[in-house]
Amino acid sequence: MTETTVATIDDKLLTKRLGKAMFRSRLRAFMLVVPVLLFLLLSFVIPILSFLLQGISDDTFSSRMPKTTMVLSEWDAVSEPTEEMYAALVADLKVVRANKTIGKVATRVNRDKPGTRSLFTSTGRKIAKIEPPYKESLPGIKKKWQDIEVWQAMKTASRKYTPGYYAAALDLKLTSDGSIVRQDENRRIHLTLMTRTLQISFLVTIFCLLLGYPIAYLLATLPVRSSNLLLILVLLPFWTSILVRTTAWIAMLQSQGVVNDLLVYFGVTDDGTRYSLIYNKLGTLIAMTHILLPFMILPLYSVMKGIPPSYVRAAKSLGASNWTAFWRVYAPQTIPGIGAGAILVFIVAIGYYITPALVGGQEGTMISNTIDDHMRKSLNWNLAAALGGVLMIVVLFLYWIYDRFVGIDNMKLG
Amino acid sequence: MSDNPLVRFQNVQKSYDGKILVVKDLNLDVEKGEFLTMLGPSGSGKTTCLMMLAGFEPATYGEIYLNERPINNVPPHKRGIGMVFQNYALFPHMTVAENLAFPLEVRKMSTSERSDRVKRALDMVQLGDFGNRRPAQLSGGQQQRVAVARALVFDPDLVLMDEPLGALDKNLREQMQYEIKHIHENLGVTVVYVTHDQSEALTMSNRIAVFNDGVVQQLAAPDTLYERPENAFVAQFIGENNKLRGTVTDLDDGYCVVKTATGAMVYAKAVNVKKVGDQSTLSLRPERVVVDPEPGAVQNMFEARVLELIYLGDHIRTRIALLGREDFIVKVPNSANHAFLAEGETVTVGWLQEDCRALD
């Protein structure tokens, strides 16, 4: 008994001493990574979180039209707007007209009810001279103010936190009473784009695997001198600008391009029926596969390099034909490389943007091109954030599936 | 030598780069049921020979016969030769039992016979309970046993082993040597074994082919190889060996006299000398040197000075200065009344003419 007690005390002391001894080295290690942690926090974590927040929060309307927001929150969205509501609206409109932010408010409401932008701006020009009762005078300026749908759109826009953008990203619509319904048929685009994005990324991954596997095998089995040369050829595209590579594909694939010229020359097709190899899905697939191929080859190569030739030899000596030896013994050992390469290519592909924008045409563009559109053209950052958030959730979900069936720890990048 | 050997190398040559011959004109027969070891320093061509036999390297010239059938154009998987690799080459993504079942599976054997044979093979190497483990969960010695079992499970006529014990520590290596030897004896399978460890070769083999520079220097049973080496390389490579160089002054009826640089005359057995006046290397095993011999009992007797004594338990390793050489080793056995020597002491040593072999 005494011995046990002593051991316990000793153990505790030992742990304590060990902790003390380890503390300094841990602190030193931590100090070494502090700069990069701060950098990541400022340049990665915070921007992403704030951007994701934009997908669910929007105070464009509520911050500029506080009085209207208040009365709208009490309104049941069906009954006729009261004089009090009109008065609040007019008061707010006067303020936003004066500080020149009426355009932003108009744009915001316009998203929920298209065609209301001019209603706001033209009303704004005459708002200074308006007299009560506003319930009569405001429709006097523009008759549309009597339309209850305008009010419903304003009520939807006035919510500070809203699932509306995520709903829109999934081709759903948030109605003024808070329920979510499917978007009108002709306005459903995001789900189509999302499926197309997944489909293109998936196909690019498959093509990269089919093309990259033999090259990686060759790299891993050739003598060092020739394999180094081949490795440089694999890496060469990395040293060329992505823009240059994509434009090179345009020169190659366009209807008056090299490939079509050759096909015409060899009589595969004639001048009138040149193939459209670019500005469609095929163009995106070809160019993206080319650009992402090294991401597949390199992890595969590093895994294959670590497989000693004696495994295949052993399989053959045990009576396996070349194919059986490859399929049963070699290929299973390259799964970590396949997993790493596939995940890498897929994740890079799903957010790909420049190449589809340049060679994708109508049917070859991807969700990132739409996000870019909302960021730079329609300036609907909230929807862009929601689309980005959906994309991230999809990727995380696929990652989770991968982990379930293959195992992340089975992945080997180098 | 029998008329139908299991394996016959006939004038086999091998070159990797077209300039240097790694194997030069190899002629070698492996008899059915024998344990033949290819022994030699690294780069001597022994592993290349094994790889040619397994089918992983083509012979540049000559023909290899297996059961009297030329196999140069037979791919490895159709040769039916079991092989144990240096790093075991157990398939890491399969369990031990799956590894063993693999050769049976590709031979399309039924499931019940497969599991039967796997069980028997595992029992043979005393790993009956390890079938469900992965190779990575086994120790080096256990992996080695699995590799041996896998090479034997499909009943090949011939098993090749390429330095299979190289990665094990000394005790385990010795234990495995006995086990492989016993498996060979029990199964009667023919084994061609490659190693650079001469004690391993001596322990296990029926015959040893000593390779150097792409040529078989001597092919003989272990005792013959040790006691009657045919050239200086074999004498030096197998066991410990004292060397004396000199010129042949007399040659008669299998015996000769060699005059060393110091002018001393040494009586030796002529093994590989052709005529008087030739240079010769005399080879003498350290344990055949007698300290303080009875006058007349041995033909050679010389004065020597003791330089160093190393106590090794069963014998005392003594370095002496003799006939102008300072690296002459004598093993003084630790017997009941052995000679007690002191460093710096002058002592008489001698040996039989029979024990001193005059080589090339």
| Percentage of the residues of chain A whose pLDDT score is greater than 90 | 26
CA distance A198 to A190: 12
Closest CA–CA distance from residue B3 to any residue of chain A (Å):
27
- ipTM value for the complex: 0.79
The helix (H) or strand (E) run that includes residue B9 is strand B7-15
Phi, psi angle pair for B260, to nearest 5°: -85, 175
Of B89, B102, B154, the CB nearest to A310: B89
Whether A333 sits inside 8 A of B92 (CB atoms) is: yes
Domain carrying residue B55: 7-232
CA distance linking residue A245 with residue A238, whole number of Å: 10
B1 assigned to some structural domain: no
* Residues B51 and B141 both lie in one domain: yes
Do the Cβ atoms of B87 and A310 come within 8 Å? yes
B174 & B295 share domain: no
- Which residue among B180, B211, B232 closes a domain? B232
Would you place residue A411 in the very low, low, confident or very high pLDDT band (cuts 50, 70, 90)? low
Nearest C-alpha in A relative to B81:
A317
Same domain, B184 and B294: no
Nearest to A314 among B55, B89, B154 (CB): B89
Question: Is residue B29 within a helix (H) or strand (E), and if so which, with residue range?
Answer: strand B21-30
Residue-wise pLDDT tens digits, B231-272: 888 888 888 888 888 888 888 877 888 888 787 888 888 777
**Would you say B326 and B242 are in contact if contact means Cβ atoms under 8 Å apart?**
no
Same domain membership, residue B217 and residue B78: yes
- A86's CB contacts (< 8 A; 6+ apart) are A133, A134, A135, A138, A145
DSSP class of A262: H
- At residue A3, does pLDDT exceed 50? no
Q: 3-class SS at B295?
A: coil
Token pair belonging to A335 = 């799964």
**Residues of chain B above pLDDT 90, percent:** 11
% of chain B surpassing 70 pLDDT = 98
Residue B330 placed within a domain: yes
Cβ-based contacts of B80 with chain A (< 8 Å): 319
* Confidence band, pLDDT 50/70/90 cuts, at residue A413: low
CATH number of the domain enclosing B295: 2.40.50.140
Residues 93-132 of B with CB under 8 A from A: 93, 102-103, 106-107
Sequence spans of domains, chain A: 60-187, 190-410
Indicate if B255 and B220 belong to the same structural domain. Answer: no
How confident is residue A1, by pLDDT bands cut at 50, 70 and 90? very low
Nearest CA in chain A to B154: A318
Give the separation between CA B38 and CA A22, rounded to whole angstroms. 54
Query: B150 touching A, CB under 8 A?
Result: yes
Rounded Cα distance, B103 and B78, in Å: 12
Range in A158-162, B275-279, B305-309 the model is least confident about: B275-279
Per-residue pLDDT reduced to its tens digit, A313-353: 999 999 888 899 999 999 999 988 998 899 889 989 998 88
| B342 vs B179: which has the higher pLDDT | B179
Q: Within a domain: residue B320?
A: yes
- Closest residue in A to B77 (Cα) is A319
For residues A169 and A386, the answer to whether their CB atoms sit within 8 Å is yes
| Residue A217 reports pLDDT greater than 90 | yes
* Averaged pLDDT of chain B: 85
Residues B60 and B205 in one domain: yes
pLDDT for A197 equals 93
Q: Domain of B127: which CATH number?
A: 3.40.50.300
Q: What is the mean pLDDT of residues B337-348?
A: 76
Rounded mean pLDDT, B144-171: 88
Predicted local confidence at residue B236, as pLDDT:
83
Q: Which of A44-58, A191-205, A244-258 has the highest mean pLDDT?
A: A191-205
- Number of domains chain B contains: 2
A22 contact partners, CB below 8 Å, separation of at least 6: none
Inter-chain CB proximity B103 and A319 less than 8 Å: yes
Cα(A223)–Cα(A236) distance, integer angstroms = 20
Flag whether pLDDT at A2 surpasses 50.
Answer: no
What's the pLDDT score for residue A6? 47
Chain B positions touching A330 (Cβ under 8 A) are: none
The hierarchical CATH code for the domain A190-410 is: 1.10.3720.10
B321 and B213 part of one domain: no
Residue B48 lies in a domain: yes
Residue B31: inside a domain: yes
The A residues from 290 to 329 touching B (CB cutoff 8 Å) are 308, 310-311, 313-322, 324-325, 328-329
Q: pLDDT by residue (tens digit) across B23-64?
A: 888 888 888 889 999 998 888 888 888 899 998 888 888 889
**Residue A199 confidence (pLDDT):** 94
B221/A contact by beta carbon, under 8 A: no
- Exposure of A181 in the CB half-sphere (CA atoms within 13 A): 8
Beta carbons of A333 and B93 less than 8 Å apart: yes
The percent helix, strand, coil of chain B (3-state, each to 5) is 30, 35, 35
Examine the domain organization and report whether B272 and B224 are in the same domain.
no
Is the same domain home to B278 and B214? no
Highest mean pLDDT among A254-258, A330-334, B165-169, B356-360: A330-334
Q: Is residue B2 part of a domain?
A: no
Q: Is A311 close to B103, i.e. CB distance below 8 A?
A: no
Best A221, A303, A311, A317 residue to mutate vs chain B (most B CBs within 10 Å):
A317
Which among A303, A316, A318 is the top mutation candidate for probing chain B, defined by the most B β-carbons within 10 Å of its own β-carbon? Answer: A318
A223 touches chain B (CB under 8 A): no
Per-residue pLDDT at A7 exceeds 60? no
The β-bridge partners of B266 are B258
Q: Which pLDDT score is estimated for B3?
A: 67
- Same domain? For B152 and B291 the reply is no
Question: Rounded distance, CA A321 to CA A326, Å?
Answer: 8
The minimal CB distance from B83 to the residues A311, A317, A325 is found for: A317
Angle at A184 between CA A179 and CA A185, to 5 degrees: 140
Whether B26 is covered by a domain: the verdict is yes
